[in-house]
Amino acid sequence: MMQTDAIQAANLRAVDLICNADPVLIDVGRADEVLAGFSGRVIAHAGPPVSWDGMSTAQRGGVVAALLYEGWADTPDAALALMASGAVALRPNNDLGAVNPMGGIMSPSSPVFVVKEAVSGLIAVTTLVEGRNPAQRFGSFDAATLERMRWLRDVLAEPLGAAIRATGGIHLREIASQAVQMGDELHQRNLAASSLFYRQLFPALMRVPMTEETRQSIVDYFCVGNEQFFLNLGMAMAKAAMRPIEGLADCTIVTVMARNGVELGIKVAGLGDQWFTGPSGTVIGTYFPSFSAADALPDIGDSAIMETFGLGYFGLGAGGPAFGLLGVPSQEAANARVDQMRKITVGANPNFRAPALGSEAMPCGIDVRLVAQQGIPPGIATAIAHREFGVGRMIGAGLAPAPLAPFQAASAAITERSASATVAGS
Amino acid sequence: MMQTDAIQAANLRAVDLICNADPVLIDVGRADEVLAGFSGRVIAHAGPPVSWDGMSTAQRGGVVAALLYEGWADTPDAALALMASGAVALRPNNDLGAVNPMGGIMSPSSPVFVVKEAVSGLIAVTTLVEGRNPAQRFGSFDAATLERMRWLRDVLAEPLGAAIRATGGIHLREIASQAVQMGDELHQRNLAASSLFYRQLFPALMRVPMTEETRQSIVDYFCVGNEQFFLNLGMAMAKAAMRPIEGLADCTIVTVMARNGVELGIKVAGLGDQWFTGPSGTVIGTYFPSFSAADALPDIGDSAIMETFGLGYFGLGAGGPAFGLLGVPSQEAANARVDQMRKITVGANPNFRAPALGSEAMPCGIDVRLVAQQGIPPGIATAIAHREFGVGRMIGAGLAPAPLAPFQAASAAITERSASATVAGS
């Protein structure tokens, strides 16, 4: 197949499936219990496949944290030696149905949010956001980072799961839809969505038996300095919405866009599980005091699932409160960027409209052919990690273009298939 | 005085005082303990002075609720008889330093938020918002309304006050400033501000000793269907910000704009405590299913302190998510209304900017002379109460123009004073 008519029909159907997806947060579980085949000595990471030797510093640091946390190693050096021995397998999160921000390291006992797309029944998974710097997702493996990782697993996960189950499921798209009207583009700004989420969670959470101390620590976790809390949930929402089109014949829409700090990789609905990769971009934006571009790791994280779904950079005009951090000079500049994304997308998502974007629906469904033909790379609104091993901090945020190479390669693969189909059919 | 130069200087100084005011929520108290001279058989109400016989139905119903709640009467009929006897005094909230929404009935044992303007040390007070329909503020005196009033006083007030004191004070302008960037115009839309407020409150609230049942009921109160929670706090913030200019010589800026369902009354900074009144306007907007304009009470409530301060209708362009309810057809229409308000205001408040308003500061400081000269009435974005005695429900929301008469009368009083000053000085 892969004829133009069939492609068009498949792409329109895909946008329909994406826009009508209803991702519902249903539970908190352990990664190795929720994800098929994720057990034994295996570590999952953001972005396309990568070897231990080829891994970026932020991911290597996150892996060290994971090995200490899992008890597979007692010291950072022992962790590095274990990884060098090849005894621990590495797998991309996206190949497992998961998405995680920045380094995105997930290990078997990581607590995870479980999001079910109600129409298809498909599941997407994400780790619990850690909170502020330093953090495993930026490559930290210091004592405070490990302590918080254990707190998430050993203290938070169980009552949080109980509360979520007691709500009967939290419809994430409804929260996201409201939040984009409230200044969240839902990648680099998530304050409204986080706050709206707590309103739905807290009544149930207050009915879960726990000690006063535990309750206090949990409420502090949500309310003190965790403005990006909803990012992970938004990512799982986006992943859950994209899963129904994975493998859709003839569809040329990008289903995955993810970076490991070295490469950005994409998958395309009609091209199966194949990754197409190119070099991770440089993030241009704003640095926190005392940091500069010289300290920055290239673009990293599965969080570009937000753009793949049609938020983040694709809804940048909604994110006025985040413009300063992202280095966006004005509302007009933001809206112009969104309009540029309309040139490489098949449709628009009526669930996401922001007053500052003229209430137009945000562009949705990146057609890999349009990116290749027009030479317009998808943009990504993202955080910047420190490049030095062990620092494990966010040092700023900004905008990064995706590399064109993977889109060109995927587009060529589609042309090739069309040609073979024509020959076969002639 | 009241010469043009002196007026101009006073007005600029007034806008400066309003914009730099720093209203801090410091406590919860009882109305009769916080407000000087508010004890014995006295009831406070929204809007300008009104007699029992002249009161609107929503206020009469709210008064009946207050008398039952205070234990001054055992039945609604007994409450009506007591009021008819003249044994209970009526006073406008604004004359006491208080502001309350809709009917705005406040009685001696009402629990109140205490807001202190940090620069001047002046206090403003407001009741605790009740939550959804039916409610005393709309004129209800049914059993559920009374039960909730008692719960606010007997269950919520003490731990809430303890939590607020433990925070060291919550700076309301910071919350309001963020919220207007998130789609709240802070009169008819308060979801962002309410949600941001909980983030600051809950960590402290979780540390106040109370039973599980009490904690659950309090968290439910905040999180379930109480999207307008912040309105009362926003009103006290606005009142606290206006108090420093009350009595400011030569200042022609409106300090109070309040409605009792029959009349709208204003006060002007340089004209002391005098009320100027005119008929309450008709609210044009959207009705909930099964209701129409025939069911509507005229414009009512002290909540027009939001517009007096420079939010609500004066920042309407920020409130995209509320446009549907308010009957605003488009962002452009909203922004045009805000621009109209710039013609009757002295300055703009740099703390309040919204992306959808082009990030321009919102107009602030209504000059009573400009209203009279230009014939442009201040607009008010407001809820609509049912007109029938005892129904006690909100039936819609919309926009109402203030009557011009009080502004014309106040402006004339200023001209008169200027003339006498000129004669005296010549």
Instruction: State whether A215 and B195 contact (CB < 8 Å).
Output: no
**Chain A residues inside the 8 Å CB shell of B321:** 178, 181-182, 355
| Residues of chain B found within 8 Å of residue A180, distances taken between Cβ atoms | none
ipTM of the complex: 0.93
Mean pLDDT of A197-219: 97
pLDDT score at B422: 67
Note whether B203 contacts A215, CB cutoff 8 Å. Answer: no
User: Is residue A49 within 8 angstroms of chain B, CB to CB?
Assistant: no
Tell me: pLDDT of A127 over 60.
yes
**A178 to chain B: closest CA residue:** B321
Q: Which of A192, A215, A320 sits opposite B206 (nearest CB)?
A: A215
| pLDDT value of position B426 | 47
Is B210 touching A (CB cutoff 8 A)?
Answer: no
Position A426 pLDDT exceeds 50: no
Decide if B359 touches A, using CB distance below 8 A.
yes
Looking at every residue in chain A, the average pLDDT score rounds to: 96
Model confidence, pTM: 0.95
Does the beta carbon of B4 lie under 8 angstroms from any beta carbon of chain A? Answer: no
- Residues in chain B closer than 8 A to A206 (CB atoms): 212, 215-216, 219-220
Flag whether pLDDT at A1 surpasses 60: no
CB contact under 8 A, A182 and B321: yes
Tell me the C-alpha distance between A275 and A81, whole Å.
Answer: 29
Q: Kindly determine whether residue A206 and residue B216, on different chains, have CB atoms separated by under 8 Å.
A: yes
Look at residue A425 in the predicted model and tell me its pLDDT: 53
Whole-number Å distance between alpha carbons of A194 and A223:
9
A219 and chain B in contact, CB less than 8 A: yes
**For A181, which of B224, B321, B359 is closest by C-beta distance?**
B321
When CB atoms are compared, the residue of A200, A219, A358 closest to B202 is: A219
pLDDT over 90 for what percent of chain A?
93
Cβ–Cβ below 8 Å for A198 and B198:
yes
State the pLDDT confidence band at A314, using cuts at 50, 70 and 90: very high
Looking up tokens 């009935």 gives: B105
Determine the pLDDT at residue B417.
87
Compare CB distances from B356 to A199, A207, A356 and report the shortest one's residue.
A356
Q: What is the distance between the alpha carbons of residues A31 and A125, in angstroms, rounded to a whole number? A: 8
For A31-89, give the secondary structure using H, E and C. HHHHCCCCCCCEEEECCCCCCCCCCCHHHHHHHHHHHHHHCCCCCHHHHHHHHHCCCCE
Secondary structure of chain A as H, E, C letters = CCCHHHHHHHHHHHHHHHHHCCEEEEEEEEHHHHCCCCCCCEEEECCCCCCCCCCCHHHHHHHHHHHHHHCCCCCHHHHHHHHHCCCCEEEEHHHHCECCCCCCCECCCCEEEEEEECCCCCEEEEECCCCCCCCHHHCCCCHHHHHHHHHHHHHHHHHHHHHHHHHCCEEHHHHHHHHHCCCCCCCCCCHHHHHHHHHHHHHHHCCCCCCHHHHHHHHHHHHCCCCCCHHHHHHHHHHHHHHHHCCCCCCCEEEEEEEECCEEEEEEHHHCCCCEEEECCCCEEEECCCCCHHHECCCEEHHHHHHHHCCHHHHHHHCHHHHHHHCCCCHHHHHHHHHHHHCCEEEEEEEEECHHHCCCEEEEEEEHHHHHHHCCCCEEEEEEEECCCCCCCEEEEEEEECCCHHHHHHHHHHHHHHHHHHHHHC
Write out chain B's pLDDT in tens, 426 residues.
467 899 999 999 999 999 999 999 999 999 999 998 898 999 999 999 999 999 999 999 999 999 999 999 999 999 999 999 999 999 999 999 999 999 999 999 999 999 999 999 999 999 999 988 899 999 999 999 999 999 999 999 999 999 999 999 999 999 999 999 999 999 999 999 999 999 999 999 999 999 999 999 999 999 999 999 999 999 999 999 999 999 999 999 999 999 999 999 999 999 999 999 999 999 999 999 999 999 999 999 999 999 999 999 999 999 888 899 999 999 999 999 999 999 999 999 999 999 888 889 999 999 999 999 999 999 999 999 999 999 999 999 999 999 999 999 999 999 998 888 766 554
Helix (H, G, I), strand (E, B) or coil at B26: strand
Nearest-Cα distance to chain A for B382, in Å, is: 21
Residues of chain B with Cβ-Cβ distance to A191 below 8 Å are 182, 196
For residue B211, the chain A residue with the least C-alpha distance is: A212
Q: B192 and chain A: CB distance < 8 Å anywhere?
A: yes
Residues A16 and B259: their CA atoms lie apart, in Å, by 49
Chain B's closest residue to A203, CA to CA, is B220
The pLDDT of residue B193 is: 98
Asked if the Cβ–Cβ distance from A202 to B202 is below 8 Å, we say yes
Residues of A in contact with B207 (CB under 8 A): 216
CA distance B133 to chain A (A): 20
Q: How far is A87 from chain B (nearest CA, A)?
A: 44
What contacts B217, CB < 8 A, 6 or more positions away? B151, B155
B356 Cβ under 8 Å from any chain A Cβ: yes
pLDDT of residue A345 exceeding 90, the answer is yes
Q: How many CB atoms lie within 10 A of CB A312?
A: 32
Smallest Cα distance from A402 to chain B, Å = 27
Arithmetic mean of pLDDT, A143-165:
98
pLDDT of residue B172: 98
Q: Averaged over A382-388, what is the pLDDT?
A: 96
Across the interface, do A321 and B181 touch by the CB < 8 Å criterion? yes
Q: Are A113 and A225 in contact (CB under 8 A)?
A: no
Which of B182, B202, B207 is closest, CB to CB, to A182?
A: B182
Are the beta carbons of B320 and A206 separated by less than 8 Å? no
User: A307 pLDDT exceeds 50?
Assistant: yes
Chain A within 8 Å of B333 (Cβ-Cβ)?
A: no
Contacts with A265 (C-beta within 8 Å, 6 or more apart), sequence order: A47, A48, A49, A92, A256, A257, A258, A259, A275, A276, A277, A406
Contact (CB<8Å) B219/A202 = yes
Q: Cβ contact (<8 Å) for B203 and A220?
A: yes
CA A100 to chain B, closest CA, distance in angstroms equals: 25
pLDDT at residue A359 in the model: 85
